[in-house]
Amino acid sequence: MTALALPTRRDEAFRYADMTALEPLWPVAVETIRLGESEERSLTIVNTGDAPVVREIAVTVPAGACFRLHVLNAGHAYGRIAVRAQLGEGAEFHLGAAQLAGAGQTVEVVTEVVHTAPNAVSRQVVRSVAANKATANYLGKVLVAKGADGTDGSQSVRAMLLDRTATANAKPELEIHADDVKCAHGCAVGELDANALFYMAQRGLPPELAKRLMLQAFLAEAFVDAEDGDALLEQAIAALETML
């Protein structure tokens, strides 16, 4: 994963990356995390700063262990959080990510989850909001190795565009080499429901407030199982305020 040469957009995982912002930060040191057997661990990544952020995380989740990762990717410059997870037998990997981009920046979550052994579970929930000329990406690959029967993987990816000039790319990808596998993915890119906005306005909510309520509910889905979910959501809402 630590390629010394600067990737190009021909590399699938960098297809929508902001190469100009990436170049000075390359090569990026890979942060390695290794859980013990049956260990449960959580990690929260919050990016709300002004500087570009590029992180590469490689996590090994051995048999019976469970790793929960929550991401708030809402910085004012390029923000890229890439995660590669290796799952042992019966291991669990949970990702809940919220991304917000309001200016011209690109934010992205890039994952590769490898089910190396039977009965591992991976759950990925990514909610993105993009306004103005911003771009929000999710590229997620789930690889089920030969013999990893009983794999249960899911990817739920939704993006909300607040302006017609904003962009969202969602690319869930499955590579399955086992037989008995359950892998679900859902992707949707849309706008706020105009009917709901009128309904809310008719009850007295000004448009900014109505949008905030709907987007808050949308983003909250990324933090449902986070211990610090309320605090994360508050930070997400604070970032949202600057976009509305």
Residues that bind another protein (CB under 8 A): 193-196, 198-207, 209-210, 213-214, 216-218, 220-221
Closest CA to 76 of 21, 15, 24: 21
Residue 36 φ then ψ, to 5°: -80, 170
**Cβ 82 to another protein shortest distance, Å:** 28
CA–CA separation, 99 vs 110, rounded Å?
12
CA–CA separation, 96 vs 85, rounded Å?
14
Which residue is it, tokens 């920046």?
105
C-alpha angle 2/85/149, rounded to 5°?
Answer: 135
Q: Pick the closer one to another protein by CB: 163 or 221.
A: 221
- Two tokens, residue 32: 């390695």
Give the amino acid at 223: F
**Cβ 195 to another protein shortest distance, Å:** 5
Cβ atoms 113, 85 nearer than 8 A: yes
**Cβ 163 to another protein shortest distance, Å:** 17
Strands 79-87 and 53-61: parallel
**Cβ 159 to another protein shortest distance, Å:** 16
Q: Pick the closer one to another protein by CB: 36 or 206.
A: 206
Q: Pick the closer one to another protein by CB: 174 or 214.
A: 214
Q: Pick the closer one to another protein by CB: 107 or 200.
A: 200
CA–CA separation, 136 vs 18, rounded Å?
11
**Cβ 214 to another protein shortest distance, Å:** 7
CA–CA separation, 9 vs 11, rounded Å?
5
Peptide bond into 207 cis (omega under 30): no
Bridge partners for 8 per DSSP: none
Q: Pick the closer one to another protein by CB: 139 or 210.
A: 210
**Cβ 221 to another protein shortest distance, Å:** 7
**Cβ 48 to another protein shortest distance, Å:** 22
For the chain, the first-to-last Cα distance in angstroms comes to 37
Q: Pick the closer one to another protein by CB: 10 or 203.
A: 203
Q: Pick the closer one to another protein by CB: 43 or 192.
A: 192
